Structures are given as C-alpha cells and as structure tokens.
Chain A
Amino acid sequence: MADVLRAESLSKRFGTHTALNSLNLGVASGEIVCMLGANGAGKTTTINLFLGFLEPSDGKALIDGTNVQSDTTAARKLLGYVPEQVALYPSLTGLENLEYFMRLSGAPNISEPHLRSLLDKVGLDQAAATKPVQDYSKGMRQKVGLAIALGKNAKALLLDEPLSGLDPKAANEFCALLRVLANEGKAVLMATHDLFRAREISDKIVIMKSGNMVASLESAALDNASLEKIYLQHMHDPDTLLEAAS
C-alpha cells in the first residue's frame, strides 16, 4: 500500500547542528507509527518538516504524494495535527473552535449536528461543548484537537507528545480513539516518550537519536521489556540499562 506520509532522505540542519539526518520513513493508510527518542532526537523536527514549518536542508517530505515544501497549503489540508498542548481560542467554546478550524480547512460539512457528532466521537461531553475552552482540562482540549483533525477528514494525523500530561484514563481513551481512526484508514505518526503506550497502539516503532533513525521495529514482535531494553541500548545509558536488565 502506498505511503500517505513519506520522508525521503529528509534532513534538517541548523548551522552546524544536524537536527535530522537523512530520514527515510513511510506511514501507510491505516498504520500507526510511533517515534521514540530523548529530547532533541529529531521527533518534533520531523513533524515540523511534515507540517511545513521548517524547510528541509535535504530530501523531501510528502503527504499523499504532495511535496510539503512546494505546496505547503495543499499539503496541510491533508493533515490533522495534535500537539502536546492543543492550542484553542480560550473565549470560544469547544464547538466554536471546532467550527472555526474546520471552516479554515475547507471541510464540506459544518452543520452543528455533524460538529456535535465529531465531539461525541472523541468523547467530549455534550454539555462541555458549549462552554468556553478556557475552562477545559488538558484532556478535553486534546479531544477537541483530535475532533478538529477528524473534522478535516485528514488522510494523515501528526501527533506530537499528545499523551503528555493526560491522566491514565484519558490517555487510554485517546489511544483507543487513535486505533479506531487508523482502522478507518488514517495514517498516524506520533512522537511520544511513552514506550509502553507506543507499543500497545502502534504498528511500527522507530527510535530516533541525535537526528538519526537508529531502529525500526514491528510492534507486534515486541513485549514491554524487550522494547525498553532495545530503547535503552540505543540511548547508551549503562546504569539504566543495568537496572532494566536486573
């Protein structure tokens, strides 16, 4: 199956510092790929390159065949993006935020029943939908962010640490929803620090270090312990490795 998200020799340098070094990565429709790695490994740089907020130094980022650099606006219309902190307009309600971002993306159906059904799908309480988002918890904001991505009918979802700060129940709900979306055909690329959650929901895990992709693993072939061991081996932290082995 053709990759919806595709990085071809994608590189990004800031002066002499290489933030991403010749990344080759594909995410197919219906597939969830999780990027693991320490801070500064290149995960967010990869996402920013796919979003068109950074220009690649070499290589290219493609979304459903559209080169992000040459046609950024068109490429962005194919993407849903959920950052660590979903940024919404605080004086607007969840419903109004959803409507606004869907209108910007040119979504065809912006009727209130459809908007409410989207919020329902991501598990946002109907009563909360008409409250200003300044009163929302982080989990509620993440849900609206996901609803925005859903409403765009995006072909691919980019998620940058979306589980950070969520309570376990909210994180579980979020992951379950991601799986549903992938099953509906979305290509999902998620950057996360949560190894075990990544293993649970992903089809593939890539480990990044210092701008390089150092491992690409099939999630089905891993258990939590083996994933942690591999991850720590790549991180080259002998003490932690010793502790994990014991």
Chain B
Amino acid sequence: MISYIIKKEAMEVSRDGRTRLLAIVMLLLGLTGLLAGWANYADQQRNALFAQEDDQTVFLDQGERNPHSAAHFGRMAYKPASPLASFDPGAAPFMGQVIWLEAHQRNPAMFRPAADSLELGRLSNFSVAGILTVLLPLLVFLLGYSALAGEREHGTLRQTLTAGTSTGKLFAAKYIVIASTGIALAAVTIIASAVMALFSPVALSATDTLVRALGLTAFYAVYVLALTGFALLVSALCKQSRTALLVLLGIWAVAVMVLPRVGASVAAQTFPIPDGAQVWSELRADIASNRVAPDSAEYKAAEQFVVSRALGRDVSLAELATMDLNASGLRLEVTEVLDYAVLNNFYADIYDRYAGQRDVRRWFALLSPAIALQHASSAFAGTDFVAHQHFSDVAEVQRNNIVRVMNEDLLLNGAGATTYLAGENFWEEVPEFTYQFPPVSLAWRSAAFDILLLLLWGAIATALAWTVTRNRLTV
C-alpha cells in the first residue's frame, strides 16, 4: 500500500511548479558551480604542476654554488588542489598554496585565494557544497511544510485515513518521497563532481574517488534525512501549512545562515590564529629560547648525531674531535636538528588551534546539522585544515631533506675550503618533491565525530517527527 502513497506523493511533487523550479535552479546552480570550480581548480592544478617542474629546472640549472647558499635559495612546494575541491573547496582558499622550503625556517603556506580575492569576488566563488548546504533545506522544507499540515488543513488526511491506511504508512511515504528528492539532487551533483575529479590533471585513484564520493553522498543523504524529519515534525505540529512554512524558514535562517557564521566567529575568537608578523616574532622567540651553548652536552650529542648520520656509521665524541670537517656545515646542520622540534611544535600548536576552532564549531553543530555537514564534506573533499596539515608536514620533510643534503655536502666536502662550491651536477642528488594526497582514512579520522553528529541529527529528527505525527496528528 505504501508504494501507492509514494507514487501519489511523487506525482504531486512532480506537478508542483514551485518545487520543479527550485529543483531546476538548484541543479543548474550546482552544475554551473561545479563547472566553474572544476575549471578553476584544474587550472590551479596545472599551474602547480608547471611551477613545480619549473622550480626543479631552475634548481638543477644553478651551476656551481655554495650548498648553504642554495639552501637559502630554496625550493617551492606547490600544493595541488584536491580533485574534489571543485565540489567543496572547504578551508583550502584560506590555507595557502605554496610553501617556500628554505634553510632555518619552516614557512607558512603563501598565496591564499580568499585573501587575494576582492570581497565581491568571494561571493561569486560559490561551490556546489555551499549551494547544497544552503538550498537543500529550502527544497526539503518547501516539499515538506504542507505534507501533514496541508493534508489536515484541506481534509485529505481524513479522506486518506478513512480509506483504510495508517498514519505510519502515510508518514513513511511522505518521508521517503521528500528525502529521495533531496538525496537524488545531491547524488547527481556529487557523482558529476566525482567523474570530473577523475579527469583532473592531478587525480586520485578511482577507488579513492569512489569511496570519497560514496562518503559524501551518504553525508548529504543523512543531512537530507534530518531536514526531512524537521519538515515533517513542524508540519505535524502546526495547524496550518502557512505557519509551518514560516517556522521552517525561521529554522533555515538560523540553522543554515546564522549559526555557521556565529560558530566560525566564536571559534576564531576562542582560538585565534596568529597572522604572518606574529608567526615570525613568536617563532624567533621560541628558537632563541631553545638555543643551547655550543659546549653543552646536548649540542655535543647533536654534533655526534649529525656526523654519524652523514657518514652512515657511529662516530664517538673522541673521534669527532679529531675529524677534519667543515665547521660551518656542521654548525648549520646541528642548528637545523636542534630547531626541528621547536619549529614542529610551533606548527603543531597552530594546527591544534585549528582543531580547537573545529571543536568550538562542533558545539554549534549540536544546534545546526549544517555545521557538521561542512566539516564532514570538506574532510572527504580533501580540503579541510587536516588535509592542509598533511601537505605542510610532507613539505617540511622535504625541506629537512634538502637542507640536510646541502649541509652534509658542505660538512664532508668543504673542509679547509674558504669558499666551497658544489659541482653543477650535485643538485640532482636532491630528491624531487612529489606530493601524494592523503588516504581517505585520514578523512574518516578527521570527520568521525562530525559524521556521528550528523547521524544523531538524522536519527533524532526522524524519531521526533514520527513520535509527534503518531501522537499528535489528528484530523
């Protein structure tokens, strides 16, 4: 029997001009956003690939040069845009795209598209995820506000129940049709995004893309289920469908438009991220306070470690005192080794602040499923701060490798030379920077709590809607 109700509901939905119009507008907006996003991020990916190759060429062609000078000349690590960034750019526009890998410093990423855009330009950068997050509730609420209130108001509820069906079947059919419409719309755009992601200049594996697309579809589906529950809950509670519509529009404005912004603002106030000037002054202060005296045991141990690693064998302190090494090269590498922990701790603290911001927003997600969805969506699109941290950490390992190769060459080959120059072929010993996107397991770990919140939203909203419908829906 429920299939007949579903068929009738679907027929009504398909004949409702307002719903058709909104669905078409959403689909067009989504596909336009997707195409615009894909063109933008594919271009960014191509630029990153080109720039990385160019950087490699320039580095290899520098001829004879002092290795430490080359370490300061540095390399660039270009972050390729995630293939799914065209679906959900997440935090990527705010996190920077290029990290300068140089001696002594772990630099923050440069070139943040959001910071470089004019305010009006930002408005035009609408993403598919943003459109779905904001407009799916409108579509679902438009489909659901009169689902029960309207039936009661127009008397069809009485007619339907008299025909011999139950409130449960009526509720289930309406729930299925409303939720299916929203989920279908989300699924179409996510599948289109995944297909386009496979054809990006820098693509993920097909399996990874599929798992991410399935995850995204599931999250948006649960979001739609929560919205459907809300719509039916309000529709069952309100005597008139017009009242239900007004209440739902109010919920939409608060939960989708206001709370995510308030949450982000409170999070930024609670866990402020230092700006560029602060980063440098705090970093210098941390490094200065960590410096140890050259005659200290810790410094000597670092020297022993550096030389042993360079030679590939254990060197005692006594042997070290007799070795003919380039003192400048040794000092530079020892300083690098001693500073690694400070630099890494500093950046770990910054990323802890990002995590703190996310935790604050999660409190707001208890009031709005849109926030939990934003977290889960950007995690699976590979555009959240966790994905950026992954890139930053890989880039830092590369920086460590470059500086080590430079310093060890100076240390071992520059003994006695007043100005040591490495040969023109030496630069090929520096490994090329290649970046592999993090596995999807990182996204699961990053978004596990948000996924749980979304599931809770879906379950609670649906259970509440059903309970209220069963107990309070009267003719």
Chain A positions near chain B (C-beta within 8 angstroms): 51, 53, 73, 76-77, 79, 81, 83, 85-89, 91-92, 96, 100-101, 103-106, 145, 148, 152
* Binding-face segment, B7-15, B28-36, B388-396, B401-409: B7-15
CB contact under 8 A between A85 and B162, given known A96-B11, A104-B1, A106-B1: no
**Extra contacts besides A76-B163, A79-B162, A100-B8 (10): CB < 8 Å:** A53-B161, A53-B474, A83-B158, A87-B154, A87-B159, A88-B156, A91-B11, A104-B165, A105-B164, A145-B159
B63 within 8 A of A: no
B5 at the interface (CB under 8 A from A): yes
Per the bound structure, the CA–CA distance linking A89 and B5 in Å amounts to 12
Taking the closest CB of chain A, its distance from the CB of B461, in whole angstroms, is 26
A216 CA / B24 CA spacing, docked (Å): 61
Which residues in B have their C-beta under 8 angstroms from that of A77?
164
Within 8 A of A (CB), among B425-466: none
Q: Mark B154-187, 1 if CB is under 8 A from A, else 0.
A: 1110111111111000000000000000000000
- B155 in contact with A104 (CB, 8 Å): no
Q: Which of A53, A87, A91, A145 lies in contact with B12, CB distance below 8 A?
A: A91
A77: nearest residue on chain B (CB-CB)?
B164
Q: Report the bound CA distance from A106 to B4 in whole Å.
A: 11
Cα–Cα, bound, A148→B160 (Å): 11
Chain B window 57-86, contacts with chain A (Cβ cutoff 8 Å), 1 for yes, 0 for no = 000000000000000000000000000000
**Total number of B residues with any Cβ neighbor in A under 8 Å:** 22
Interface assignment of B282: CB less than 8 Å from any CB of chain A: no
Asked whether A88 and B159 contact (CB < 8 A) given A53-B475, A104-B5, the answer is yes
Q: Let me know if B4 and A76 touch, CB within 8 A.
A: no
Q: Contact at B8–A92, with CB atoms within 8 Å?
A: yes
Is residue B424 contacting chain A, with contact meaning CB distance below 8 A? no
> Can you name the residue of chain A whose Cβ is closest to the Cβ of B159?
A87
Bound together, the chains give a CA A87 to CA B157 distance in angstroms of 8
CB of B16 within 8 A of chain A?
A: yes
The distance from the CB of B150 to the nearest CB of chain A, in whole angstroms, is 10
Q: Are B159 and A73 in contact (CB under 8 A)?
A: no
Question: Are A87 and B158 in contact (CB-based, < 8 A)?
Answer: yes
CB <8 Å contact, B163 and A148: yes
Closest-CB distance, A44 to chain B (whole angstroms): 12
Give Cα distance in the complex from A81 to B156, angstroms: 12
Q: Is the CB of A76 within 8 A of B1?
A: no
Pick the most buried of B154, B163, B166: most chain A CB atoms within 10 A of its CB. Answer: B163
Task: Give min CB distance, B471 to chain A, whole Å.
Answer: 14
On whether the beta carbons of B155 and A85 are closer than 8 Å, the reply is: yes
Q: Are A76 and B12 interface neighbours, CB within 8 A?
A: no
Assess the B4–A83 pair: CB atoms within 8 A: no
With A83-B155, A85-B155, A91-B15 given, is the CB distance from A51 to B162 under 8 Å? yes
Which residue of chain B is the closest to A48 with respect to CB atoms? B475
Q: Which of B4, B15, B156 contacts A103 (CB 8 A)?
A: B4
Say yes or no: A104-B158 contact (C-beta < 8 A), given A53-B475, A92-B8, A92-B12.
Answer: no
Complex CA gap A73/B165 in Å reads 7
What are 6 inter-chain pairs, A to B, with CB distance below 8 A?
A85-B155, A87-B159, A89-B12, A92-B8, A101-B159, A104-B1
How many Å from the CB of A220 to the closest CB on chain B? 31
Cα distance A77–B163 when bound, in Å? 6
Q: Which A-B residue pairs are the 8 nearest by beta carbons?
A: A87-B155, A104-B163, A103-B4, A91-B15, A77-B164, A87-B156, A81-B162, A105-B164
Residue of A nearest to B166 (CB): A73
Tell me, rounded to whole Å, the shortest Cβ–Cβ distance linking A50 to chain B.
10
Question: How far apart are the CA atoms of A77 and B474 in the complex, in Å?
Answer: 19
Query: In the complex, what residues of A have CB within 8 A of residue B165's CB?
Result: 73, 104
Contacts A103-B4, A104-B4 given; indicate if A92 touches B162 (C-beta within 8 A): no
| A104 & B11 in contact (Cβ 8 Å cutoff) | no
Beta-carbon contact of A86 and B159 below 8 Å: yes
Q: How far is the CB of B1 from chain A (nearest CB, A)?
A: 6
In the complex, what residues of A have CB within 8 A of residue B156's CB? 87-89
Cα A171 to Cα B165 in complex, Å, equals: 30
Given A87-B154, A104-B4, verify A152-B11 contact (CB < 8 Å): no
Give chain B nearest CB distance to A216 CB in angstroms.
Answer: 26
Q: Which residues of B contact A91 (CB under 8 A)?
A: 11-12, 15-16
Closest chain A CB from B468 CB (angstroms): 18
Residues of B within 8 A of A88 (CB): 156, 159
Q: Is A76 within 8 A of B8, CB to CB?
A: no
User: Would A105 and B155 count as touching, CB distance under 8 A?
Assistant: no
Shortest CB–CB separation between residue B173 and chain A, in angstroms? 10
Q: For residue B16, which residue of chain A has the nearest CB?
A: A91
* B163–A101 CB distance below 8 A: yes
Query: Judging by beta carbons under 8 Å apart, are A103 and B1 in contact?
Result: yes
Given A89-B12, A100-B4, A104-B1, answer yes or no on A53-B158 (Cβ-Cβ < 8 Å).
yes
Shortest Cβ distance from B17 into A: residue? A91
Whether A106 lies near B164 (C-beta < 8 A) is yes
CB distance from A14 to the nearest CB of B (A): 13
**Assembled-state Cα–Cα distance A105/B1 (Å):** 9
Question: Closest CB of chain B to A149's CB: distance in Å?
Answer: 9
Report the nearest A residue to B1, measured CB to CB: A104
Q: Which residues of A contact B166 (CB under 8 A)?
A: 73
A86 to B4, alpha carbons, bound, how many Å?
20
Q: Please report the C-alpha to C-alpha distance between residue A103 and residue B233 in the assembled complex, in whole angstroms.
A: 27
